[in-house]
Amino acid sequence: MANLKENQHDQKHLRQSVNTCCNSAYCETKLQQGETEAPVSLNKQSFLLPGPERIHISMLEKYKPENFTEPFYLYQDVRTAYDIIRKGLARSNNGNCLGYRPDDRSDYIWLSYQIVLNRCVNFGRGLHHLGVKEKEFVGIYSKNRVEWVLAEQGIYSFSMVSVPLYDTLGPTACHFIITQAEITTVVLETEKNLLSILENIPTCLKTIIYMNELSSETIVRAEKLGLKLFKFMEVEQIGQEQQDLYPEKPPKPDDIATLSYTSGTTGTPKGVIITHSSFVSSICCSIASFRRFHQDLMTKDDVLFSYLPLAHVYEKGMEAIALIEGASIGFYRGDVLTLLDDIKFLKPTVFPTVPRLLNRVYDKVMGAANQSSLKRFLVKTALRYKRKEVEQNIRRRNSIWDHLVFGKIQNALGGRVRMVVSGGSAINADVLSFFRCALGCQVVEAYGQTESSGLISVTLPHDTNGGHIGPPILGVAVKLVDVPEMNYYSKNDQGEICIKSSGICKGYYKNDEETQKAIDEDGWLHTGDIATWLQNGTVKIIDRKKNIFKLSQGEYVAPEKIEIVYAFCPFVAQIFIYGDSLEDFLVGIVVPDAEVLKAMYPAATDMLSLCKDRNVKAMIFNELTKLGRENGLKSFEQVKNIYLHPELFTIEQDLLTPTMKLKRPELKTFFEPQIKQMYNLA
């Protein structure tokens, strides 16, 4: 008992000492750092145009109709994706361009801009020599690596069109894309990629260019099936030998740059047609917006970490910005298990990421903090004092709290990160606030779509509030349109997000029906996301138009909104919400977080036994219900029964898209017996 009192006295004394120390340190920081004035009022972040459509634009520009249809070029010598790397060569003075680690013992090896450019042109010339013509589609089937950039920039050097194939695509989707785009040549990384294609070879495919070595058996099999095979370096060598024979053929701004296939959760993928003009306009609008906010997105001194799929417009846009500004790009080694090791060696300054990764880090930190009252006190106190600094736009990594609490997180990302961009999906406001405090750098949330060729909106660098996706960026007009079936009306500042900009795609390849659904006759792109305008002129996504269904009592349900809420349960790794139109309630398939559950039940032998345990199921169900109540879910939006599944949903099972989104029809079919049982028992 005496020891307990002594320990409590020590903790109380520590708290008093820490509070005194931090009050002093905080005041000193304010005096040293001062406050940075925001370029626009945070109470009015977008401008509402007069008229019934209630269109919002950036506060940074005066309204001119042509601003949202005419191309926006920040540099007169950059009008196509072909020009991007050439601009970077000049701006960087031939600095480091692309970096890679050959193995786990090596530091990064860097290729200069000039070397990269020479290799790009040689590869493109090699393709041309092999018979690939202007405006012909070329597939790229690989994880992020140096050769990915060499291939695409080489393709642009001779006015060809790139068609990224997701590294994790299954044979069916891959076959569909190659066939629809009539691709004759695919540049691929691994034997696994090739074997996937060989399962059902499209008749149009003639040539394979491979990066990694192939087994003799696979080469023989491919050649017997009529394919011609070339090593990547071999194509570069062919191009180098033909320098005098084939001059470069730069594309025009209105030419197609890429067909970016969206991994639909239902049906076949849709090929988004992105022109050079659309892509360059989109990235230039992003660069210009950040500059107007007195915060360069990237400069020639920056190092960007590349691990998000280059097949997605999000990462493709970030890397294009790096290249146009003369920055350096370091690639991960292709294994997510060694991601942190790569980051420590690279020490990046710009870190594009997704909420899924940030959520995992946040959960682990907070879970560790909750293991003792002292740790919990330190983390909460550190966050309280760091939030005060963040609210004053003070960003640093040398406070007492950085040394005591946040230093490990900062060092895990290399210790030099100055800009984190979170995109791909919405991020919880608490998680966003945590990383702004923990990393001591700029953390912004971005929103965009493949169909917009990049960014639509981004949170302002000076805005420390969360729960929204910021105002429209320069060159983008946003309006909300009625969705009466879900009771959302623009007169109430709610509805489906529609945008107009020079970055909007030209539609879906060979799919006029879907194009007309997405882009109306007035040129507005309908995103499918439902949002509300906040009083400060920012956009807050509140729902999703697609994937809604109606329960038997007539209530419409958006499962994605519910899944986002439930995903913050520490016991949940994955969750699928389902509602039968003949029933009046929802059920859920839950994949528990194995690490968390095994820590709670160390005597358990495996996940299957834990998932069958009624007490475990009741605990998780109660936690979900509590979370739903705290986050404002209506009664009919709460699950009434759940099934615990011991294994993660995977792409290989065809339950997830390559972007890790749920494939609802497939999940419904896969879990049909369990769903029927839940409805029978509830």
pLDDT in tens, 159-193: 999 999 986 666 888 999 999 999 999 999 999 99
Where residue 301 falls (left for φ over 0; alpha for ψ -120 to 50; beta otherwise) is: alpha
> Would residue 274 be called left, alpha or beta, if left means φ above 0 and alpha means ψ between -120 and 50 degrees?
beta
pLDDT digits (tens, 9 = 90+) for 19-44: 444 443 433 333 334 345 667 889 99
Chain segment 648-671, per-residue pLDDT in tens: 999 888 898 877 788 888 899 999
Contact present, 505 and 261 (Cβ < 8 Å): no
The residues, any chain, with a CB within 8 Å of residue 360's CB and separated by 6 or more, are none
Condensed to tens digits (0 to 9), the pLDDT of residues 354-388 reads 887 888 888 888 888 888 899 999 999 999 999 99
Helix (H, G, I), strand (E, B) or coil at 573: strand
State the Cα–Cα distance between residues 416 and 659, nearest whole angstrom.
28
pLDDT score of 126 more than 80: yes
Rounded to an integer, what distance in angstroms lies between the CA atom of residue 382 and that of residue 403? 10
With beta carbons less than 8 A apart as the criterion, state whether 175 and 202 touch.
Answer: yes
Give the model confidence (pLDDT) of 590-600 as tens digits: 999 998 998 88
Q: How many CA atoms lie within 13 A of 464 on its CB side?
A: 19
Tens-digit pLDDT profile for residues 564-609: 899 999 999 999 999 987 788 999 999 999 989 988 888 888 899 9
Query: From CA 605, how far away is CA 603, in angstroms rounded?
Result: 6
pTM: 0.83
CA angle 165, 453, 575 (to 5 degrees): 65
Pick the closest to residue 564 from 621, 623, 616, 633 (CA basis).
Answer: 633
The residue count of the chain comes to 682
Q: Is 390 helix (H, G, I), strand (E, B) or coil?
A: helix
Q: Which strands make up the sheet holding 350-353, listed edge to edge? A: 109-112, 96-100, 328-331, 303-306, 350-353, 419-422, 442-449, 454-458
Q: What is the pLDDT at residue 545?
A: 79
Q: What are phi and psi of 574, to 5 degrees?
A: -145, 155
Distance CA 437, CA 434 (A): 5
* pLDDT averaged over every residue in the chain: 90
Q: Residue 579, SS3?
A: strand
DSSP state of 470: -
Question: How many of the other CB atoms lie within 10 Å of CB of 513?
Answer: 8
Task: Tell me the pLDDT band of 264, cut-offs 50, 70 and 90.
Answer: low
**pLDDT tier for residue 641 given thresholds of 50, 70 and 90:** very high
Per-residue pLDDT tens digits for 85-100: 999 999 999 999 999 9
Q: Does 17 score more than 70 pLDDT? A: no
Structure tokens at 395: 């960003």
Q: Residues 390-408: pLDDT tens digits?
A: 998 899 999 999 999 999 9
pLDDT of residue 428: 83
6 pLDDT more than 70: no
- Single out the residue of 309, 287, 389, 295 nearest to residue 353, CA to CA: 309
Count CB neighbours of 190 within 10 A. Answer: 18
